Structure 1
Amino acid sequence: MTSERTPSRQELVQRARDLAPVLGKHALWSEEHRSLHDDVVAAISDAGLTRMRVPTRYGGYESDTRTVVEVLAELGRADGSAAWNAAIWQISGWIAGLFPDAAQDLFHSTPQVRVCGILSPSAVAEPVEGGVRVSGTWAFNSAALHSHWDMNAALLRHPDGSMEPVMTAIPLAELEIVDDWYTSGLRGSGSVSTTAREVFVPEERVLFMRNVLHEVYASELNAASPLFRGPLLPTACATITGVALGLGWAARDAFFERLPGRGITYTDHSSRQEAQLTHLQVAEAEMRIEEAEFHTFRAADLVDAKNASGQPWTTQERARVRADMGRTCQLVKEAVDVYATASGGTSIYQTVPIQRIERDVRVVNLHAIMQPATNLELYGRLLCGLEPNTHYI
């Protein structure tokens, strides 16, 4: 294992910023090929950014949530698909740290291991001696094309016929890749489907979701680490929010890069930069991005504070993290819509980043766990004194 000193937040964020040229260079290629360019994956891994959620005993950094979110936002500023996959590696890598220690030893026997995963239990696990046998297909399996392990949910069939969700850890080499990622946004993420056909998973690589959702984790060596004591959904939601924020920053960068020297066609505005309309548009967009920053970092800081103190989470706090995530997505989409509208007709060309950013943001807002309305409804239920209508909290 590496003996590298654990980098500070500032160092890791700077590493992410330094990757902007290589991510930007390959963004169009990744979109056209529906998969991240190998150079992008290598750059993220070589910068150590796949090790932020890895236990220190394996050479990881055990970075706090705020650090991970700021890193993901910088990656999203350069390419949404690269940031999305990096976020999946952070979340699934954290889930890997919940498994028994012997399973973690196996995961981290692969240098710079990358882990992806799906929380929706769309496969069936049949009990067999020593473990389970899994069959089924998981859609939207982001980062699967460049990962080593898949942490996927399945429904365990009990002898009485009842079903219970479990999390399984399966090598990607034992799964079939279904090349079905033909989409309007986040195309470079390569979020293909994966299929298991009677894949045997030993019991040490199976977690009961009832335990995971109540912070009853199987790792003994990670039990004392603040990083690995937090709840799944707040940790995952706070993490992925960094991608949305980064896309907002990307839209702002893309707009202002093209602003100087351009006019507004069919008007007497020879300078778009000096037009009052532009001033109103950019101020409106900027305020939304600043509001998105508030919600993004509030969620991350709450996760870190709770992890550090060990204090129990209230149901309302859990729901508020989801509400912060949804609000960030909504605000970023609104800001990007303003920038895209103000960018003019030439912005529709494939080589102009704003049109890709706009499509990526739309896809983010359609993600089942990130939809603004769903998360606001959940938070509102609790504010009205009702019980949550989901286990994913």
Structure 2
Amino acid sequence: MTQTAGSTQGTTEQLVAKARAAAPVLAANADVTEEQGRVAPESLEALREAGLFALGTPVEFGGTDVDLVTLVRVLSELGRACPSSAWLVSISTGTKAHFSGGFPEKVLAEVYPHPDVRWCGGSTPGQAVAVPGGVEVTGRWAYASGAEDAHWAFLSVVSVGDDGVPHVGGALVPMSELTIDRTWRVAGLQGTGSHTVVADGVFVPGERLFEFPLGPDGGPDFTQGRPLEIVSQTVSVTAALAGAALGALDVVKAAIHTRKPPMTQYNSLAESASARHVFAEAEHMVTSGYDRLISLAARITEQLPGNDATAVQRSSLRMEVVSILQQFLRAADLLLDLHGSSAFVLDNPLQRFWRDLNVGARHAQLSTYLTTENYGLLVTGAGKPVQVG
């Protein structure tokens, strides 16, 4: 995810328009994306043609530099059509933006022959054993979203030096040198293809190794001195889920004047005062939640250049993300109540939006209980933070 505040309004509107234009292709192929467990080829091509895989690519290699507000708007448009597709764009963008700067230009020139290169990543550390010229990497990295369609993987690794001290870093590996264990069998976001990446003694040259700097506590600083960027990535993945909530709202809104409430004399949901009340409540939750997310992204963008937000401020931002997500989740439940049991028919997109939203909201970066615990520790002074960033 790119982090500067310098994108022009023209660039923003152009990218949002391109995302909106790609959305019908994503929506038309959403069922195929889910059934195949990876984004449909037609959707991948639509995203590429729209230039959305260039997000997160360094500008010197043809990438598009945008601020967080722009990214939220783009991802929400994509998620409104297919949350899995939006998720893939979000993860690839964030991984490239956060880690590309840690590698020399020679490596980046190899990695980015064109700006549409896609990355996936794995955070569970594998093992790196020193060999002449680099290391041999072995391990399994689960939840690598978009692995089957990625070009490169940034894999967390641990190596032990001659002094016995472990060094934590990352290895940038072409997907052609890795295998994939198709472990992603889940209730939602099935199309993200978040499978397990496997390496067995894969050689990685030294220039494609990355070591995390040490933080104030002497341990590895996974934020690389930019903790607010981790919060930004949390907002980015939430944007894809905002799209899911907007998509669910679209489905019910389209049926509000034609769908008949069961076992009543009403001809449509719109004739029922109670149905109008439920729809109004759900609509307000979704649209106000989206507005809050945009506002949150704008505030983070203003702070990013200095990246000097305190731990309490960053935790407070995370708490706001959690609050927004709760709005989306509650709204989706209300929309399902309103539509009735037919919403769970598998060819009804409403149930897919609901499942994608509920699974995505449990992502590690969006952990409700840990976010609340972290904030409670900080505001009471009862202990050290439990979250990174």
Q: Name the TM-score, length of structure 1 as normaliser.
A: 0.89
Kindly indicate whether residue 339 of structure 2 is the aligned counterpart of residue 339 of structure 1.
Answer: no
After TM superposition, give the deviation of residue 23 of structure 1 in Å. 0.4
Q: How does 1:133-212 map onto structure 2 within 5 Å?
A: 133-210=136-213
Q: Deviations over 1:310-349 (max 9, x none)?
A: 2522112222332233222222111111111111222221
Q: Deviations over 1:133-176 (max 9, x none)?
A: 21110111101111101112122233354434312211111110
Are the aligned partners of 2:312 and 2:375 in contact in 1 as well (CA < 8 Å)?
yes
After TM superposition, give the deviation of residue 108 of structure 1 in Å. 0.8
* Equivalent in the alignment of 1:19: 22
After TM superposition, give the deviation of residue 387 of structure 1 in Å. 4.2
Distance 1:291 1:157, change over 3 A: farther
Are the aligned partners of 2:374 and 2:387 in contact in 1 as well (CA < 8 Å)?
no
Kindly indicate whether residue 61 of structure 2 is the aligned counterpart of residue 58 of structure 1.
Answer: yes
* Equivalent in the alignment of 2:360: 364
1:117 to 106, 118, 121: 121
Percent of aligned positions that are identical: 28
The farther-off stretch of 40-49 and 313-322 is 313-322
* Equivalent in the alignment of 1:351: 347
Kindly indicate whether residue 384 of structure 2 is the aligned counterpart of residue 381 of structure 1.
Answer: no
After TM superposition, give the deviation of residue 230 of structure 1 in Å. 7.0
Number of aligned residues:
376
Match for 1:343: what amino acid? Answer: H
Match for 2:141: what amino acid? Answer: W
Match for 2:329: what amino acid? Answer: K
**Aligned mates of 1:346, 1:85 — CA distance in 2:** 29
* Equivalent in the alignment of 2:264: 267
2:279 to 273, 277, 282: 282
**Aligned mates of 1:391, 1:318 — CA distance in 2:** 10
**Aligned mates of 2:224, 2:362 — CA distance in 1:** 31
Match for 2:352: what amino acid? Answer: R
Are the aligned partners of 2:212 and 2:224 in contact in 1 as well (CA < 8 Å)?
no
Are the aligned partners of 1:125 and 1:135 in contact in 2 as well (CA < 8 Å)?
yes
- SS of the equivalent of 1:139 reads strand
Q: Deviations over 1:114-148 (max 9, x none)?
A: 11112x22311223333222111011110111110
Match for 1:35: what amino acid? Answer: R
Q: Deviations over 1:224-262 (max 9, x none)?
A: xxxxx7744123112212111111111110111122222
**Aligned mates of 2:135, 2:361 — CA distance in 1:** 35
Match for 2:235: what amino acid? Answer: A
**Aligned mates of 1:263, 1:17 — CA distance in 2:** 31
Kindly indicate whether residue 244 of structure 2 is the aligned counterpart of residue 247 of structure 1.
Answer: yes
Q: Deviations over 1:291-322 (max 9, x none)?
A: 422442233223311234x2522112222332
After TM superposition, give the deviation of residue 38 of structure 1 in Å. 0.7
Distance 1:292 1:312, change over 3 A: same
Gaps of 5+ in 1: 218-228
* Equivalent in the alignment of 1:8: 11
Distance 1:158 1:322, change over 3 A: farther
Q: Deviations over 1:68-116 (max 9, x none)?
A: 1110010000001101111111111212422223222221124521111
